[in-house]
Amino acid sequence: MKNHLGIHALVWTGSWGSKDIDFAIGSSAKLGFNVIEIPLLNPYKFNAEYTKQVLDFNKIKGVTSLGLSDETDISSEDSVIRENGAKLLGKALEMTYQIGSKYMGGVLYSALKKYDAPPTKNAFHNSVDIIRDLCHKAKKMDIMIGLEPVNRYESNLINTASKALEFIELAECNNLCVHLDSYHMNIEESNYRDPILQCGEKLGYFHIGENHRGYLGRGHINFVEIFSAMKEIDYQGTVTFESFSSSIVDPHLSNALGVWRNLWDDSNDLAKNAKSYMDSII
């Protein structure tokens, strides 16, 4: 396996001003990461020009990710909310292109929240229609779109690899892939190997994170099983470390993700440990 190793920017900072950009990108490059995943918390106020300058200066690649809100949920039955979501995704795609990124992923298909009911009858198709249009725009920019299955407390639409693959089949877009995450797989999948094999060439991006979202190697996730399965499908995409602490992350996002207890408060120590662990196992 020849994988780029990435780190999520929220390990370093919960905002994205000039000082945050310098710190997050510079720190990631200094530790030897090839990729930094940048959350587009507000694509309308994102400083793409400066972000690209700092990425280029540090010789590190950027990818982007985001989740939708109640007001931009493209699976909604409300056409105004769906339109808001389509506009937000379009703006996020524009920012992704402007920083020179070839990948945008995350919870693009629904709101990132705990729903109080199953999906409505039309929710899946509502989302597919808008993601299909997004993929058509992205293809012209040579950008891959990734759908991240998340656990039942963060979406009611795509919780497993098989559901993401069903979505991709309906969308009929060859620049749409599955973005798996070991933290969510630990909750929703029967094991780690089968979903990875099921995705095969449709696996386009991977988040590595412990069951408690703390230090790698200090939880119970079977990373040996994960990377053995990746070798079986010859996965050569990016593997990105993701972890959250309310001492770093914006309180609103922290609450949405259920970060009720912090397992770390030293970003550099956490990231250094993650890089060492990833180098040893991948």
Domain containing 101 equals 5-281
| Known catalytic membership, residue 242 | yes
Residue 197, domain CATH: 3.20.20.150
Q: Which of 148, 154, 189, 210 is catalytic?
A: 148
Question: What tens digit of pLDDT does each residue of 262-274 get?
Answer: 655 788 999 999 9
pTM higher than the cut 0.85: yes
Cα 145 to Cα 123: distance, rounded to the nearest angstrom? 19
Quickly list DSSP for 73-134.
Answer: -TTSS-HHHHHHHHHHHHHHHHHHHHTT-SEEEEEEEEESS--SSPPPTTHHHHHHHHHHHH
Q: What's the pLDDT score for residue 78?
A: 98
On whether the CB atoms of residues 162 and 195 are closer than 8 A, the answer is yes
Number of domains the chain contains: 1
pLDDT > 80? residue 252: no
Cα 135 to Cα 189: distance, rounded to the nearest angstrom? 27
Q: Which of 37, 154, 210, 242 is catalytic?
A: 242
pLDDT > 80? residue 147: yes
Query: What count of Cα atoms within 13 Å lies in the side-chain half-sphere of residue 73?
Result: 22
Interval 84-92 mean pLDDT: 98
Tokens of 278: 């990833």
With residue 61 as reference, give the H or E element that holds it.
Answer: strand 61-68
Question: What tens digit of pLDDT does each residue of 27-74 get?
Answer: 999 999 999 999 999 999 999 999 999 999 999 999 999 999 999 999
Find the length of the chain.
Answer: 282
| Known catalytic membership, residue 37 | no
On whether the CB atoms of residues 135 and 168 are closer than 8 A, the answer is no
